[in-house]
Amino acid sequence: MAGRPGSTDVEGRSQIIEIRYDGPDSPGRTHILAVGISNYNDPAHALQFADRDAEQLSGFLQSTGSRVAGTVGTRIVLKNGDVTEAKVDEAFQQLRDLVQDRRPRTRSPSSSPATPIR
């Protein structure tokens, strides 16, 4: 996990959250946009492994997502100098374009209960 250079403490560890999904059970795709910045202009903000974490975590999420969703989605990883407002906007637009033609599906509230994902 990302941490300050020379530090052995792990910073940036989040609390475990539960995501409930009440959507359709039909196969889907997991799309990932991962951003990791290790190199900042101000060395005080530098993180040792943020760029590597973005690469590795997105790979894990993609492989796990393909097992759950059934198909592989798009994976976009932006690291260090590639992280600009324009490139992040472009990545979100690319993902939006992939899913905008997908027809929304509905399920009645009495259908199977939400599946928690941990």
Q: Kindly state whether residue 31 falls inside one of the protein's structural domains.
A: yes
What is the rounded average pLDDT of the residues 12-22? 73
What is the rounded average pLDDT of the residues 79-103? 89
Domain count, the chain: 1
Q: Kindly state whether residue 87 falls inside one of the protein's structural domains.
A: yes
Helix, strand, coil percentages in the chain from 3-state DSSP, rounded to 5: 35, 20, 45
Q: Kindly state whether residue 108 falls inside one of the protein's structural domains.
A: no
Q: Kindly state whether residue 10 falls inside one of the protein's structural domains.
A: no
Whether the pLDDT of residue 109 is over 60: the answer is no
Q: Kindly state whether residue 79 falls inside one of the protein's structural domains.
A: yes
Provide the residue range defining the domain that includes 80: 25-102
Q: Kindly state whether residue 69 falls inside one of the protein's structural domains.
A: yes
Q: Kindly state whether residue 113 falls inside one of the protein's structural domains.
A: no
Whether the pLDDT of residue 51 is over 80: the answer is yes
Q: Kindly state whether residue 16 falls inside one of the protein's structural domains.
A: no
pLDDT band, very low/low/confident/very high, at 110 (cuts 50, 70, 90): very low
Helix/strand/coil (H, E, C) string of 16-65?
A: CCCEEECCCCCCEEEEEEEEECCCCCCHHHCCCCHHHHHHHHHHHHHHHH
